[in-house]
Amino acid sequence: MKILKFLSLLIFSGALFGSCSSKDKVEDEQIRIIPLPNYYQSQPGVFEMDKNTVIGVDLSDTNMVSLANYLNEKFMRTTGFGLSIKSASEGIVFTLVEENDLGEEGYRMSVTPDGTQIYANTYHGIFNGIQSFLQLLPLDSTGDIAKINCIDISDKPRFAWRGLMLDVSRHFFTKQEVKRFIDLMAEYKYNVFHWHLSDDQGWRVEIKSLPRLTDVGAWRAPRVGNWWEREPQSVTDSLTYGGFYTQDDIREVVEYARERFITVVPEIDVPGHSMALLTAYPEISCTGGPFHVNVGNTFYTKEENSLCVGKEKTFAILDMIFDELVDLFPSSYIHIGGDECYKGFWAKCPDCRARMSSKQLQNVEELQSYFVKRVASHIQSKGKHVIGWDEILEGGLAKDAIVMSWRGMKGGVEAARQGHRVIMTPFEHCYLDLYQGDPAVEPNTYSMLRLRDCYKFSIVPDSIDASFVLGGQGNLWAESIPHYRQVEYMTWPRAMAISETLWNETDSRNWDFFIQRVESQFRYLDRLNVNYARSIYDPIISPSINDGELRIELTTEISGLDIFYTFDNTNPDCYSNLYTTALSVPKNATMLKVVTYRGKCPIGKQINLTIEELKERAKKKE
């Protein structure tokens, strides 16, 4: 044990194989691990595995056996053959150690020609080591042999909270789809699944004491088309679109996540975003309704979607909801939302005004603070920590509340300065529902968040004490995501970038090396039939108007691509005009068509834009 601890200290200090910061490893093409390990060193030789190779664990340790079975299942999926699990000190061996430097989730891995050793303080650390080992496996192995190059790795995460949020209210995703989402999260070392279970468009969790929540609140009229442009629900519509998770479903998903060392954090978004709740129980509104579950039509400020803070029954119902959630979710955290709460109906409500008078509240912001503090107090009395979006700062923070900062970093900075823990998830780096390529060839949404924007995420501002930052996460809001294939498209590869920013120090990042590893991961996702986005290959078209003339610059997000274009309405290929400098529009041209190539092969989507569209884009930038 002392020898192992000594070796670990040498590894972390760089004495064993030199200081091997990840930023120095661009040339090392065998490393395709995401997130990149903190320290690693390639070694001579290869480790060959065949059907006689064993996974060596203590067979009396059921947790180790479960980890071995997990590895074997994933190994078989990649290589086509499985391994036996034995009590052995050869092959692929898992060992628990006591090394302070590794912490709760760190691991060491040594791959030699004789075998692979994975060391960690905890089962979670072993699990993280397994993910790195699996990413070293060749994706083109054939026959009954798989080879990996020898390497030493010593690794641990920078932040304890590394999360992804999935919104299942705007569109419902099945239990099996949620499990698939969690499974891929685990492979990129995420450890928190934030489950957005309620909103204006649907209530998704069974609460046995309040059956109308799912009998009524989980269903709405079917609609397609652009969000906020849909025809409102009519009295003749059938309410067939939606769904919910039974409590048994919830327990099954929570257990599935636990086996992958992922904590499931539920969110019930209150007091705003509550139209589905009000549809089920209109008596806790300010106006009394009538209400219907929103179908994606505009309503904000015109129709009530915030709970009445003046009625005691509001808090009685919320207590019932959160009491059942506390029993369903073993997580230490409950998210209560608190964002985008329209307070206009409160200002006119006799019950809310009476509450403000009795509690000597000066404005509706303080009324929301009263609401948040009261709900938080009840949840905290059950032994849980409360999280809210950064709007819960308005009117005064609840005691010990954790702030999830989404409107940039400002809310997180303010909360940290007040001594509260924060989770950083600024929309400009972490909102996965935004465009990731040119809107002309992407599913309709709003704003832009390219892969590079995610990779630029710097989680701790210089102005605050880093100890207050629990971590960060990516958020996938589902207004424009009608099915699970689109969930995959919007999540990957951008979630790979966020994972790496949460795992490693900022100064270790190298964009070109990251892209090299992302492209290797594409091959892996192809084998899993994951519908990831290839938007990084698409051309970026930037029009501007200079001295009354339209000028067009063409770029790419990654290096090594050629850009070809036409103005004559033909489709460009590698024999068309090669872009070298900013373009002027030829006289009478009506259309620009652009495509990217790598060598002689087209790689990005072709983008076609009329000259009028380009002029409009240029005007918006002025």
Active site residue ranges: 199, 273, 340
CA distances from 619 to 449, 492, 542, 549, 614 (A): 21, 32, 12, 12, 9
Report the SS3 class of residue 135.
helix
Asked if 387 and 404 touch (Cβ cutoff 8 Å), the reply is: yes
CA distances from 348 to 312, 343, 416, 479 (A): 18, 9, 34, 30
Report which secondary-structure segment, H or E, holds 554: strand 549-556
176 Cβ contact partners less than 8 Å away, ≥ 6 residues apart: none
CA distance between the termini of the chain: 65
Peptide bond into 138 cis (omega under 30): no
Asked if 111 and 136 touch (Cβ cutoff 8 Å), the reply is: yes
Report which secondary-structure segment, H or E, holds 169: none
Residues in the chain: 622
Opening angle at CA 169, ends 247 and 457, nearest 5: 110
Report which secondary-structure segment, H or E, holds 93: strand 91-96
Asked if 610 and 591 touch (Cβ cutoff 8 Å), the reply is: yes
d(CA 326, CA 332): 9
Nearest CA among 589, 551, 591, 549 for reference residue 572 = 591
Q: Tokens in use for 26?
A: 């661009």
φ, ψ for residue 467, nearest 5 deg: -65, -20
d(CA 213, CA 513): 49
Cβ neighbour number for residue 115 with a 10 Å cutoff: 18
φ, ψ for residue 50, nearest 5 deg: -140, -170
